[in-house]
Structure 1
Amino acid sequence: MRVGVIGATGAVGRELVEVLGRRRFPVTKLRLFASGRSAGTVLPTPFGDIAIEEFSQAAARDLDLALLAVSGDFAKAHAPGLVAAGVTVVDNSSAFRLDEDVPLVVPEVNGQALGEARLIANPNCTTAILVVALAPLHAAFGLKRVIVSTYQAASGAGAEGMAELERETRRVLVEGQPARAEVFAHPLAFNVIPHIDSFQPNAYTREEMKVVWETRKIMGLPELLISCTAIRIPTMRVHGESVTIETERPVTADAAREVLRRAAGVKLVDDVAKNLYPMPLTATGQDDVEAGRIRANPVFGDHGLDLFLCGDQLLKGAALNAVQIAERLPALAVPA
């Protein structure tokens, strides 16, 4: 396939290129697009050295597949034109996620929703990490309520957020100066910030509501009760999620472990006697979402469960999921 990565210089764009190579995606020609200031820069890739091109719809019209790692406004402006030109588009932004006629896909959960669509939305990173664990638990025990607290790395704010955390940590430790904030609402170094994205009229942030809206759509549960609190923490990459569920049918920790042990996209890391549980340190660079600290929730009795998840935001939360979607395209017919 003739594949284009649009937004190739950002954190997700770079991961997309690496994932395409690592998973041996059938690329006959790879093209990298970015803004005019990056045009001409040559990047080493698994497919050889490739010069970045300035994006235009005319330049990208001959692609078979476009992987978008751009803003929602950019996606809204250009994705429909690419689709009209015959390009299949997988969009990482939030632009089309809640559109009824655009499938929002996590392949392990609702790959069948892809159908013959030419425009497919990649979910929010936090949602993608969450649903790979929620879906098998729902299939086994049913879900009534889900309460999530997220611990989201600087990578969620892109390359600029990661650079700010590194720079400001050095400022504190090496220069003895207070940390500053440009990307984040407050300094992130040696801090946690319970604020990701804009606040909504209901006092939740848009990031928190994305988890609610997108989880319901992906899992086909429009009435599922979900509450989310999203917190930015000073780690470089990998999002952690503390999850409490109330189930429709009785559940035990051992039964839940067995379900998650067999679940696609999940790695069970749950042996507290050996201090084994999900952590950003161990989940970094890993395709699967780590699940652990699984225990009965005393509030909901035999219908409640607590667990902790860690997933690489740049992989399962973004680039990996986008490529997994592309692997399901009818033109490839790659088995699940």
Structure 2
Amino acid sequence: MYKHNISIVGATGAVGTVFLKMLEDRKYPSSLLRVFASKRSLGKKLDYLDNHLVIEEINDDSFLDSDFVFISATTDISESIADLAVKSGAVVIDDSSAFRLSDEVPLVIPEINSKDLMDHKGIVSIPNCSTTPLAMVLGCLTKLSRPIRVITDTYQSVSGTGSAAVSELLKQSKQIISGEKFDNDVYPHQIAFNLFPHIDDLQPNGYTKEEMKMILETKKILHRPDLEISATCVRVPVFVSHSQSVHIEFEDDVKLDEALGSLNNFSGIKVLDDLTNNTYPTPINSEGKDDVFVGRIRLDNYRSNVLALWIVNDNLRKGAALNALQIFDSMIQMNLVV
């Protein structure tokens, strides 16, 4: 059934671990997999099915037998090895921001713009983990009316930063509860029992790099350079899953029942919207799930062409690993790889 060789760069990281687990759930043969990570992990054995995979070091010949190379590491690593992988004959599915805004690289959410895969030149990028759910909802609701302005405020979990941030939140929480002193190693401020509106570097326009990722990536995915988007990205003391409060202004008036119908019938989106019975998306009930969850769907009090809603998704799954696997599946189904 499976025949394509996959190399995973960053196999021990937060996203790489989930990616491997999803392959394991598919019972993808270990003989078709190779795993790579930082030097400190070299030789480490990762349990996989009834076997184990051994972490290797990247060299010039690492990807010669690979059909796909999934990279979830730093931007610098992606920039340094993607070209090597492509020259070796592999398709790169990259989780970093290195190539997302390049005109030569498709930025893909298969439910929205899988046709863009036809233009790939060896590298395909995965969107930022908060861009993906927003773009999916916008892509879905575009069928009702053309969105013209979007305001989103995100509440992003620490796993979006990586495994070290998860450890820091856990450690700080224990230390604070115990009345112990604690240090900040990953973040500039205490993250336990705290939050801060600062993700990634400040840009000249006053937005952060994370906020500009969401803005520019969403425009590219939807092929809507004219779409007005404003974002404020906040880091919160949650381990997994990103949340967003979103207001969408449309060209025309929208009807609530039609919006609900569109969202309910869109692949990859699940509506949880029964406030009377305390049913709505939360980070906890979204963790480990593949869908983008939407709730608190309502019309604006003052404008009949504005919709307000709440979005939550597991940032390690649909925000990263699952989207990569769906790109892999789509490229095979579209006969874009042999």
Q: TM-score, normalised by structure 2?
A: 0.95
Tell me if 1:153 matches 2:160. Answer: no
Indicate if the aligned counterparts of 2:35 and 2:55 stay in contact, CA closer than 8 A. Answer: yes
Aligned equivalent of 2:213: 210
Aligned equivalent of 2:298: 295
Cα deviation 1:99-149 (Å, max 9, x = unaligned) = 001000000010110015221001100001211111111122210100000
Give the superposition deviation at 1:253: 2.1
CA distance in 2, matches of 1:24, 1:129: 27
Give the superposition deviation at 1:218: 0.3
Aligned to 1:184, the other structure's residue is in SS state coil
Partner of residue 230 from structure 1, selected from 211, 233, 256: 233
Is the alpha carbon distance of 1:266 and 1:23 closer, same or farther for their aligned partners in structure 2, counting shifts above 3 Å?
Answer: farther
Tell me if 1:101 matches 2:97. Answer: no
Aligned to 1:309, the other structure's residue is in SS state strand
Indicate if the aligned counterparts of 1:289 and 1:316 stay in contact, CA closer than 8 A. Answer: yes
Indicate if the aligned counterparts of 1:269 and 1:291 stay in contact, CA closer than 8 A. Answer: yes
Tell me if 1:55 matches 2:22. Answer: no
Partner of residue 306 from structure 1, selected from 299, 305, 308: 308
Cα deviation 1:185-217 (Å, max 9, x = unaligned) = 211000011000000001100000000000000
Is the alpha carbon distance of 1:164 and 1:224 closer, same or farther for their aligned partners in structure 2, counting shifts above 3 Å?
Answer: same
Aligned to 2:232, the other structure's residue is in SS state strand
CA distance in 1, matches of 2:132, 2:50: 28
CA distance in 2, matches of 1:179, 1:298: 45
Tell me if 1:319 matches 2:321. Answer: yes
Indicate if the aligned counterparts of 1:271 and 1:277 stay in contact, CA closer than 8 A. Answer: yes
Partner of residue 74 from structure 1, selected from 40, 60, 77: 77
Is the alpha carbon distance of 1:64 and 1:248 closer, same or farther for their aligned partners in structure 2, counting shifts above 3 Å?
Answer: same
CA distance in 2, matches of 1:229, 1:86: 40
User: May I ask how many residue pairs the two structures share in their alignment?
Assistant: 332
Aligned equivalent of 1:328: 330
CA distance in 2, matches of 1:250, 1:27: 52
CA distance in 1, matches of 2:30, 2:116: 24
CA distance in 1, matches of 2:46, 2:29: 20
Aligned equivalent of 2:133: 129
Q: TM-score, normalised by structure 1?
A: 0.95
Indicate if the aligned counterparts of 1:13 and 1:319 stay in contact, CA closer than 8 A. Answer: yes
Unmatched tracts of structure 1, length 5 or more:
none
Aligned equivalent of 1:275: 278
Cα deviation 1:305-326 (Å, max 9, x = unaligned) = 1000000010011111011111
Runs of 4+ in 1 over 6 A off after TM superposition: none
Give the superposition deviation at 1:178: 4.8
Is the alpha carbon distance of 1:47 and 1:243 closer, same or farther for their aligned partners in structure 2, counting shifts above 3 Å?
Answer: farther
Is the alpha carbon distance of 1:24 and 1:224 closer, same or farther for their aligned partners in structure 2, counting shifts above 3 Å?
Answer: farther
User: 2:307 is aligned with what amino acid?
Assistant: L
Aligned equivalent of 1:38: 41
Aligned equivalent of 1:6: 9
